[in-house]
Amino acid sequence: MHKAGANLGITYLPDEKGKMEKKVGELVEPLNPSLFLPCNVQDDEQVQSTFGVIGDKWGRVDILIHCLAFAQKQDLSGNFSQTSRAGFQTALEVSTYSLAQLAGAAKPLMTEGGSIVTLSYLGSIRAIPNYNVMGVAKAGLEASVRYLAVEMGTQNIRVNAISAGPIRTLASSAVGGILDMIHHVEEVAPLHRTVTQLEVGNAAAFLCSDLSSGITGQVLYVDAGYEIMGM
């Protein structure tokens, strides 16, 4: 997005010690974002405040990237039937509901159309070891993409998802056996490798550009072809 000339606004999950703000700030510093705001999606007032600032500073929004998910670590291993009620609710609230929540907040600011992109994973349609409740959350996320695409299409707002292959990140490290998953993809995928963060970013830039103006409600697999394999 930055290379394509986008004016970036970045949000982060605030915490009492400011660890997230510092970590995310250091990560995005080379991108020189014009907005850097706290946004806890479990706090409706903060979401409204965040988009209020965005509206005051920018006037309109062209692109929304929904790039957040969360599940309790104990719910990302073991038996799915042992998922706690609270853990299930948290995973779907943060990982799934937040897309509709943020899309609804961005919609009034997308006065000239726009593009919304979220990030999913193959666990939404396949049973992946230890992915458990997050697979259910991602299934709901992909369904949300379709319903939002219908709702927002009349305003020329497109909504799509990228289903990326496994990448070794801080977030993915919470999934039990993530390195085994990555090595398996390297062996089985048609390209015999995993994908990079840059490749996922390039796909997002495509979905947010006029080059994809006829695409909405879709899940684009950026996974070195792994999704097509039967065994």
Q: Does residue 28 lie within any of the structural domains?
A: no
Please give the pLDDT value at position 219.
Answer: 98
In a domain, 222, yes or no: yes
Is residue 211 a part of any domain in this protein?
A: yes
Residue 6 inside a domain? The answer is: no
Residue 53 lies in a domain: no
- In this predicted structure, what is the pLDDT of residue 52? 97
Question: Model confidence over 131-144: pLDDT tens digits?
Answer: 999 999 999 999 99
Q: Do the domain assignments include residue 115?
A: yes
The residue segments making up the domain with residue 85 are 67-228
- The amino acid occupying position 173 is S
Given this model, what pLDDT does residue 173 score? 67
Q: How many helices (H) and strands (E) does the chain have?
A: 7, 6
Task: Using alpha carbons, select from 117, 223, 220 the residue that is nearest to residue 166.
Answer: 223
Q: What pLDDT score was predicted for residue 186?
A: 94
- The model's pLDDT over 92-114, given as tens digits with 9 standing for 90+, comes to 999 999 999 999 999 999 999 99
b or e along 64-103 (b: 16 or more beta carbons within 10 Å of the residue's beta carbon)? Answer: bbbebbbbeeebbeeeeeebeeebbebbbebbbbbbbbbb
Q: Per the domain annotation, does 74 fall within a domain?
A: yes
> Considering the domain boundaries, does residue 22 fall inside one?
no
pLDDT for the residue numbered 231: 83
Q: What residues of the chain score a pLDDT lower than 70? A: 170, 173-174, 176
Tokens of residue 48, six digits: 């409204």
CATH number, domain with residue 179? 3.40.50.720
Q: State the catalytic residues.
A: 121, 131
Both structure tokens of 217: 């409600």
The model's pTM is: 0.94
- Distance in angstroms (rounded) separating the CA atoms of residues 88 and 119: 19
Residue 158: what pLDDT? 98
Terminal alpha carbon distance of the chain: 35
Burial status of residue 170 (CB atoms within 10 A of its CB: 0-12, 13-18, 19 or more): exposed
In whole angstroms, give the CA distance from residue 223 to residue 194.
Answer: 7
For residue 131, the one-letter residue type is Y
Q: What is the DSSP string of 55-86?
A: HHHHS--SEEEE------GGGGSS-GGG--HH
How many domains does the structure of the chain reveal?
Answer: 1
